[in-house]
Amino acid sequence: MTRVLVTGAGGMLGRDLVTVLGTRPDLKVTAATRADLNVTDRAAVDAAVTGHDLVINAAAWTNVDAAEADEAAATAVNGHAVTNLAAACATDGTRLIQVSTDYVLAGNADTPYPEDAPTAPVNAYGRGKLVGEQAVARLLPDTGYVVRTAWLYGAHGPNFVATMLRLATQREHLDVVDDQHGQPTWSYALAERLVALADAALAGHAAPGVYHGTCAGQTTWYGLARAAFTLAGLDPDRIRPTTSDRYPRPAPRPAYSVLGHSRWAAVGLAPLPDWHSALVDAFHSPAPPAPWKVA
């Protein structure tokens, strides 16, 4: 039986990973929440990794603006903790899938970033996540996988789609930025793709390195908000376009977070679906989360 450790199992992506993995009778899954495992504690990480064939690290500091205010603390979780995990995996002969972010890129392109694009993070969050990516590449050159994702939404935890639908009950109109481009990605669909990559990795069919785990296509936050309103039975014209300079944030955001997905085909796996079809699936999933139930 294959033994899999999921770190960050209490978060939005982590909970979806545990759900997807739980459908597999051939896997023995250890779900480690933040309360169960402090990933910044090297000794605790060593003990947790021992005996597992694969680790999927979904533990992360995800508050981008708070990272700008305390970069050392954010990097401890997003960077140095990944070093701990990679070192433990190297010692134990364990494969590692590290969930990373588009924020390791500069965000100033006008065509999708390939997996081997030069990194150039523009904020503390991205710099910390890059430390984690570099640790995987350095310590696990043959058994380490980095999957960059972006614009995640899902059933568990705060996210943009849930926020928009909550605000719909409080305001008649919402002004949403229309000058940041990206790929909204359903966390459950990403979890399914991560498990498929894990299968390929364990079978020796997937080369190590960087993969891009975002939905296909592209839109803006304004476009995503309108699509969510439409699916929720709300008037999308309640969403009004605006520009990022109207909403200054402590951490700068990349203007273009569209990623290419060519490496999936190289290992015989399909990339994630188009962002809009995934959003439709999220709204029509068998057990839709409370944020969808607003109409």
User: Is 113 assigned a catalytic role?
Assistant: no
Dist CA 122 CA 273 (whole Å): 28
The per-residue pLDDT of the chain, averaged, comes to: 95
The torsion angles phi and psi of 7, rounded to 5 degrees, stand at -95, 155
The torsion angles phi and psi of 214, rounded to 5 degrees, stand at -125, 160
Residue indicated by tokens 């997937």: 206
pLDDT at 261: 97
Q: What is the per-residue pLDDT across 86-104, written as a single tens digit (0 to 9) for each?
A: 999 999 999 999 999 999 9
Cβ atoms of 239 and 176 within 8 Å: the answer is yes
Q: What DSSP letter does each residue of 229-273 carry, written as one string?
A: HHHTT--GGGEEEE-GGGS--SS---SB--B--HHHHHTT-----
Percent of the chain with pLDDT over 90: 94
pLDDT at 295: 43
The torsion angles phi and psi of 54, rounded to 5 degrees, stand at -150, 140
Residue 254 has pLDDT above 50, yes or no: yes
What average pLDDT does this structure show over 39-64? 98
Q: What is the per-residue pLDDT across 235-244, written as a single tens digit (0 to 9) for each?
A: 999 999 999 9
What average pLDDT does this structure show over 139-149? 98
Side chain identity at residue 192, one-letter code: E
**Residue of 103, 113, 125, 145 marked active site:** 125
Cβ atoms of 68 and 125 within 8 Å: the answer is yes
Beta bridge mates, 97 = 56, 145
pLDDT at 292: 67
Dist CA 250 CA 22 (whole Å): 39
Cβ atoms of 289 and 237 within 8 Å: the answer is no
Q: What is the per-residue pLDDT across 204-232, written as a single tens digit (0 to 9) for each?
A: 999 999 999 999 999 999 999 999 999 99
Dist CA 225 CA 160 (whole Å): 8
Side chain identity at residue 25, one-letter code: P
**pLDDT confidence tier of residue 287, bands split at 50, 70 and 90:** low
Across the chain, the runs of DSSP E, i.e. the strands, are 2-7, 27-32, 54-57, 95-101, 144-149, 152-153, 174-177, 181-182, 185-186, 209-212, 219-220, 239-242
